[in-house]
Chain A
Amino acid sequence: MTYQTLQSLAQNLAKGACSSVEITQDYLNKINELNPSLNCFISVDPARSLAQAAQADQRRARGEAGPLTGIPLAHKDIFCAKDWLTTCGSKMLSNFVSPYDAHVVESLNAAGMVTLGKTNMDEFAMGSSNETSFFGAVHNPWDLNRVPGGSSGGSAAAVAAGLAPVATGTDTGGSIRQPAALTGICGLKPTYGTVSRYGMIAFASSLDQAGPMAHTAADLALLLNAMVGFDGRDSTSLERPSTDYTGQLTQSLKGLRIGLPKEFLAAGLAPEVEQAVAAAIAQYQQLGATFVDVTLPNMGLSVPVYYVLAPAEASSNLSRYDGVRYGHRAAEYVDLMDMYKRSRAEGFGAEVKRRILIGTYVLSHGYYDAYYIRAQKLRRLIAQDFVAAFAHCDVIMGPTSPTTAFKLGEKSADPLQMYLSDIYTIGVNLAGLPGMSIPCGFDGQGLPVGLQIIGNYFDEARMLNVAHQLQQVSDWHLRAPTAGVQL
């Protein structure tokens, strides 16, 4: 299996070495060939993709091409895309064709990018393994018996297997970073408010954030450039001076202070993951960085806090799926209440129902203060821990996931085990900080390990610089999953 970076494709397009139609056809062929065993796409529409590619070629011929014009990409099926089936991985929306584009889709269309398809995901982004999808589990290209992580597992697997050069994802508790780590690619969750949530189907509104997934830090920067920007349609979108995220990539890391929280070496961290992460961090010393011990004393609370707040918001966000206006409606019912109950019972899967129940419970009269309010207070403490840590360092590093990719079905019967796989990523969402994962090694079974880099608010350019510099002196990101995939 081979792949090309966005950067190299862009160079080829710019040189006229190939056309967007050719590239797009190439990826569509790969999807056609490999998707049956990976299941990373929910929908593809070759005619539509090729038409978009042809438009991109015409635009280039008119001399109006931008840096991303003609580059194909895959969108997580959480983003509404006009006239595309937009399912969010759920039976509930299995018949929903969006009449409008999400901000992210609109922006990338405007940049001239070509949509290859919509990728598989955990149902309503609730999951860490992609096994909760109504459309079936996604298989990890490094080992088809293993999960790709989640919830952006379809996007991660597609990029890792070379079915798309780059993809969009969303990250509520680690849903970009953890699958990126488990499939050996790069993924970045920007600062909350950086990328508009308009048209991105809500899971937990105060935590959801869209971001790019790619092979290299440089590709992440290129894609991020086109995703960010103030959007008046999202009240939590931030108005900021525009940044070129590729601008600092080549800067030296001399003097970079890397914070190492001792809490990141918790019980449950696989020794091989710990070793690979430690080795990568050690490489930064040669790049001129220094290390600082920092502490995130409330990190242990982040999973319980998250599993109060995210379900609370989700229980309300998912109320609109009632079978009245669109989406799944039960075929038979006796009255209104029965219609609601049957439609939702049939339309939602077990994990979504579990979280709606948890969320409804913690918001209920008599429990609200003990759960929701308390969790909000702890959320503030968790954020303050990061602020305090960043007083002493520029970035924080550690593992993205405590383990490498686990086997399909291994954790699906035990939600608590599954929830703990996000222990290193969730705090970043609670604090609203930017975080990313880049490949940094492999375990004994040839499964990729991810290094997590957490930055201060709005420090994405610096984080990308830090990631890019490691990729100049290592080749973890260049490895393709040839060994694991016996197709």
Chain B
Amino acid sequence: MKWEVVIGLETHAQLSTVSKIFSGASTAFGAVANSQACAVDIALPGVLPVLNTGAVERAIRFGLAVGGEVSPYSVFARKNYFYPDLPKGYQISQFELPIVVGGTLTITVGEQDKTIRLTRAHLEEDAGKSLHEEFRDRTGIDLNRAGTPLLEIVSEPDMRSAAEAVAYARTLHSLVRWIDVCDGNMQEGSFRCDANVSVRPMGSTVLGTRREIKNLNSFRFLQQAIDYEVQWQIGELEDGRSIQQATVLFDPASGETRMMRTKEDAHDYRYFPDPDLLPLAVSPERLAAVRAQMPMLPTERRQVLVDTYGLTVYDAAQLTASRELAEYFDRAAAGATEQVGKLCANWICGALSASLNEAGLDITQSRVSAQQLRGLVDRVLDQTLSNKMAKLVFDAMWLGEGDADQIIAAKGLKQISDSGELARVIDEILAAQPQLVADFKSGKEKAFNALVGQVMRATRGSANPQQVNDILRSKLAV
């Protein structure tokens, strides 16, 4: 039987506020345990939550970016359960009325665009951390993370493969960083996904029973976990067993998922509106104010690049993978013609990306500034440098040897475009290689290439290849 995979993602994006969602404590990562937990975070008797408007603003930005409806009225609810790292005995979250409803995200898999529908996005607080390994026979509690603002983004079950799920997660990751609501740091847990996975016979319109893989904090784990889970579910079904609704964990060491709990031991969270917080009202004025601050979104930016510089959709998509990269391109291509823009794009997507990848750096850490790159492109365009020489200059710039002009001067890398000078060199070569000339005249085209090679060798690669070609042809035609 052929099976269809159905995947929906729930993503927790930590909002990049300085303080927590309901208290003034810092959200900075990596502090000494419990040093960033104030009276509200540890839930002393009598303390009350106060909503951080920065978290609300970020949620609104997200809603606008995905074209969702920003609710004029949303409600914080209490999700009640006991756990030592949940100090109040409830988590403040949004349940029936979330701040963002609907919206879409367009992903690209291969050459194919696909629109994934979003169900909702809601604000909530993170719990603390239970430290099971650090103490013998005991569990430590670190409440630094308790109360950290999260936006939980829930997709519809619109994805049909692990590749689509990863593309969705990557696109979402890029978007939340683009609109500056989340730092996207996956090692620190700022962006993590739960994947709801089910399979069904191809052609079926009924959803299969899903299992939820919790807390995937890398794109690779997301891919591996879904791949494993899909194979496992298909195996179960093909062996005549049924799938039980369950929550599972992915173990990166074994590459397998294992059961955490089934539906039977699911909590009754007893959600109800939090009486300590007023309903969250977002006025049309506030919405308009946030909208006015929105940057151009990656999809719009991509189109602008295609229209302005005639870039391919592929290159434009690469350049808009992050806001920093797009800004780098803008600086490099400032005031440029279509031709210059295209060359800048080629250099950024080519040599620069390769160097960054190799060094494990991101664009903000690039050793070649946008202005330096533009200087290089300008020398290529005015034919001072051949492409081959330009790569040498680029490598030298990457090593910090200066700007393009400084390196050209220092290395004597000027391309010879003086036709008199070239004609003299070519005459010498023709005189020295009568056999090649004879071969060419008897119809051997290979001999022509050999002559070009001789000229380039004689000029140590600095001859303008097009000019060499032209002059050589005209002389041989005589």
Contact = CB atoms under 8 A, between A and B. Distances in A.
B42 interface: yes
Contacts of B80: 315-316, 319, 363
B425 to A, nearest CB: 81
Contacts of A86: 45
Contacts of A232: 50
A476 interface: no
Contacts, number: 97
Contact of A93 (B45, B88, B278): B45
Interface in A221-237: 232-236
B171 to A, nearest CB: 35
B46 A236 contact: no
Nearest to A80: B46
A83 to B, nearest CB: 14
B300 interface: no
A360 B270 CA distance: 8
Contacts of B268: 364-365
Given A360-B270, A363-B80, A364-B268, A320 B46 contact: no
Interface stretch (A36-44, A192-200, A245-253, A392-400): A192-200
B67 interface: no
A319 B45 contact: no
B50 A235 contact: yes
Interface stretch (A94-102, A132-140, A181-189, A274-282): A94-102
Contacts of A364: 268, 270
Contact of A198 (B48, B87, B88, B277): B48
Nearest to B89: A319
Interface string B21-61: 00000000000000000010011111111110000000000
B221 interface: no
Chain A interface: which size bin?
35 or more
Contacts of A235: 48-51, 276-278
A316 B46 contact: no
A312 interface: yes
B45 A98 contact: yes
Contact of B48 (A98, A100, A233, A319): A233
* Chain A binding surface, main DSSP class: loop
A324 interface: yes
A199 B47 contact: yes
Nearest to A360: B270
**Residue from the set A80, A201, A233, A235 with the largest chain B CB neighbour count within 10 Å:** A235
A372 interface: yes
Contact of A197 (B44, B48, B84): B48
Interface in B77-108: 78, 80, 82, 84, 87-90
Interface of A: 79-80, 86, 88, 93, 96, 98-100, 102, 197-202, 204-206, 232-236, 312-313, 315-316, 318-322, 324-326, 336, 340, 360, 363-365, 368, 372
30 contacts: A79-B46, A93-B45, A98-B44, A98-B46, A99-B39, A100-B39, A102-B46, A197-B48, A198-B46, A205-B275, A206-B275, A233-B48, A313-B275, A315-B270, A316-B89, A316-B270, A316-B272, A319-B80, A319-B88, A319-B89, A320-B43, A320-B45, A320-B89, A321-B45, A322-B82, A325-B43, A340-B82, A363-B271, A363-B272, A368-B272
